[in-house]
Amino acid sequence: MDFDSLFKSQLDALRAEGNYRVFADLERKRGAFPKADRHKDGDVDSVTVWCSNDYLGMGQHPAVVQAMIDTVQSCGTGAGGTRNISGNSVHHLALEAELADLHGKERALLFTSGYVSNWAALSTLGSRIPNAVILSDAGNHASMIEGIRHSRADKVLWKHNDWRDLDRKLHAVGDRPKIVAFESVYSMDGDIAPIREIIEVCEAHGAMSYIDEVHAVGMYGPRGGGVSEELGLAHRIDLIEGTLGKAFGVVGGYVTGSEALCDFIRSFASGFIFTTALPPAVAAAATASIRHLKTSSAERDAQKARVATLRARLDRVGIPHMANDSHIIPVMIGDPVKCRMISDILMHDWGIYVQPINYPTVPKGTERLRITPGPLHTDADIDHLVAALTALWSRCALAHAVA
């Protein structure tokens, strides 16, 4: 078989649909975020990044940068292998203690990414709990879907953010062990789950509650513990999963919960047992970031102010954006080709980087620009973005929002 011809034909079909992904060649500059250098055909231009998941700019924070530098100087670069082989670094243990404290849990367990922590935890729970059924919100992230699939446990979908549908489906499952998996902030629409109602339904049916807080940790709550902390509900959730690669500005994932739960996952999850541990310098930088955000609300307050300002400006000029209560602003395009084209023009003509979001990340017909204002975006940055979008809306014959 001519495999390359098969690959090329499917890639050509992806291009024809407007869903072929093109990555920007960017170089972040310490101390300049959200500015970055764009490399193209040997040239270097400055662009303003509007779609980073480094929501608070903590990847640039002096304390975080210095913690990583100091630990590289003292420990070297890599971890040397899995924690089973190379041992527990004191930096891994310190970070896990910091994370357990952040969420008010007995223990935390580190993974190499948020994707891996979801995949490993859900696949382990679903496969090792006899006769388990996992009830998954219809809007859950690919990492959760893949973990559930890999577990081979029975799966029941419930309507997105519909706790009444969850209640009905938990009742129908009966007395089997039940795990309810959902997110706090959904990354593409920016909507927030009705966490209190979901927890109450879980408690009524004796189900384990599993919440993904990856887009909320660092961002919400008085210490950055996520939406569950902000609502005072973290203690009622069995497992809280999060990431170090977004608002905390580093890389890695984790789960938190009871001592027994975390030890169970540590002992049976192949995604933990057989994966090289995070470098100690990464763990130290993450610890510094979490400690800072536990005591500083300045970054969160400034970020919220930037979001409110940009939303008001978009409303003023009639640029349609999806309403939600989070920090994510989806600017709706509804066409994959136009979405790609607008992103390209913003980059080439305006020095603005916003990656287009197309299928399969979002359903066809809901293509968008996903904008994430941060505390380091200036008024001038916002003015420039709004002017660019206003010009392109007319140029590309897109509909304006109705006042």
Residues tagged active-site? 246
In the beta sheet, which residues pair with residue 136?
A: 157, 181
**Do 1 and 27 contact (CB within 8 A), yes or no?**
no
Look-up of token digits 């009742």: 171
**Do 120 and 165 contact (CB within 8 A), yes or no?**
no
Amino acid at 183: E
In the beta sheet, which residues pair with residue 330?
A: 370
CA angle 359, 363, 366 (to 5 degrees): 95
- Strands, sheet with 35-40, edge to edge from the N-terminal-most edge strand: 26-28, 35-40, 43-49, 352-353
Look-up of token digits 């913690």: 67
Dihedral of the alpha carbons of 379, 380, 382, 387, in degrees to the nearest 10:
140
